[in-house]
Structure 1
Amino acid sequence: MALQVYYGGTFDPVHCGHVAVARAVRDGLDAQVQLVPAADPPHKDATHADAIARARMLDLAVAGEPGLKVDRRELRREGPSYTVDTLRELRAELGPDTPIVWMVGGDSLLQLHRWHRWQELFQFAHVLAVARPGSHLDMATIAEQSPPVHAEVAARWRPPRDLSQAPAGGFAAFELPLQRPESSTELRRRIAAGEAWRDWVPAAVAEYIVRHGLYAVRDVTPASL
């Protein structure tokens, strides 16, 4: 049974690095990958574009990409939207036997113990940590930098492709084949400053940002974009 992978984030905005990660996991694990935009948080300034705009940019970014889709379930949920609640909902929908994977970045993995009811995640899904090339997500590094996470995942460690052999409960690290330069924070800064930024996002996303004036985009000539 094909892995069902869920890739959560604010995607504020989605950039080519996000799409590259989703493609790499799709191809490396022969999986379906759903990108799950987070809802607008209670604090107005926590995101820079609202949920509707962020989800629409995701639609544009993955249009025509086989095996990549957008899942808006967290945008439809009232109140705080916790990953454990998303995974419980997915498990109820997909049944007890479907292998479900929740993707996190390497930095997020080391902070996993700060998530709401984080140990329950493994009841509903596997956790896949995506590592940048050259970074280390081996057990020794995790033990040194995040002892609580190490205590939980050490016995769950398995090769990424083995995640398809069980519905939930495993942990794996996935190393990206190429380093990516993109960062949403730096991308927003470049857009606001009128610096070069268009090559960091899919063309349709760039057009959406300009058309809707997101991230205080400057009205500059196309050559300087």
Structure 2
Amino acid sequence: MARRIGILGGTFDPVHIGHLRGALEVAEFMALDELRLIPSARPPHRAVPQVAAADRLAMVELAVVGEPLLRVDDRELKREKPSYSIDTLESLRAELAADDQLFLLLGWDAFCGLPSWHRWQALLEHCHILVLQRPDADSEAPEALRNLLAARSNNDPLSLQGPGGQISFIWQTPLAVSATQIRSLLASGKSVRYLLPDTVLTYIHAHGLYRGAH
């Protein structure tokens, strides 16, 4: 039987219930064998994360304890160069059977930014792309993606066949939680309880993370 594996990358600075709940919903809806959370070391398109890679990894590992569908993959943190998704997909593919299915989860904003990604046109050689689209999203994709969508999109994410090559959309109402909001609250000494798992909050306090800086 071909395995079905989802991957969700991010800085996870810090990981919160928006990441975790969204990932779990997709894993269950798509009947995935596992969904891997992949913390990025040096994301090419974002500011440098506020806390060290080791801390971000530790928080994600604490967050998924006891949830068998979610696991953590630290391969990007072991690389010396920027975290390019194509490199991650190629290294994952090398470890999997030829018919295993890989699903790359992207938010709508990230998906619209694909044409600026390193070797972005090669992504679908290794995976299917699942775009997590909010019901209120402006659903006009940039022109650079229109031909790709016309050729590769599939309206039913549950019908995606083969190891990769197609794009589908999953409508999600995300939890209105952001890492930026959490960092700001922590910096000003306010409570962030219930915005992230208690294990992650305990780690943040124990290590004095996010104090006094936004």
Q: Tell whether the 8 Å contact from 2:130 to 2:167 is kept in structure 1 after alignment.
A: yes
Matches of 1:149 and 1:118 in 2, distance apart? 11
Match of 1:88? 90
Cα deviation for residue 98 of structure 1 reads 0.7
Match of 1:75? 77
Match of 1:34? 36
Query: Match of 2:210, SS?
Result: helix
Confirm or deny that 1:202 pairs with 2:204: no
Cα deviation for residue 217 of structure 1 reads 6.3
Matched residues, percent identical? Answer: 39
1:118 corresponds to which of 115, 120, 140: 120
Question: Number of paired residues?
Answer: 208
Match of 1:135? 137
Listed one character per residue, the Cα deviations across residues 76-130 of structure 1 (whole Å, up to 9, x for unaligned) are: 1122221101111111110321111111111101111000010000111111111
TM-score, L = length of structure 2: 0.92
Higher helix share: 1
Amino acid aligned to 1:170: Q
TM-score, L = length of structure 1: 0.87
Cα deviation for residue 153 of structure 1 reads 2.3
Match of 1:98? 100
Query: Match of 1:36, SS?
Result: strand
Match of 1:188? 183
Alignment of 1:168-183 (within 5 A): 168-176=164-172, 178-183=173-178
Distance 1:63 1:49, change over 3 A: same
2:206 corresponds to which of 185, 202, 211: 211
Match of 1:223? none
Confirm or deny that 1:7 pairs with 2:8: yes
Listed one character per residue, the Cα deviations across residues 11-56 of structure 1 (whole Å, up to 9, x for unaligned) are: 00000000011111011100110000001469xx711111110011
Matches of 1:168 and 1:92 in 2, distance apart? 14
Following TM superposition, where does structure 1 have runs of at least 4 consecutive aligned residues deviating by more than 2 angstroms? 132-137
Listed one character per residue, the Cα deviations across residues 128-175 of structure 1 (whole Å, up to 9, x for unaligned) are: 1111243254xxx22xxx111222222111111122x21010101111
Matches of 2:200 and 2:74 in 1, distance apart? 18
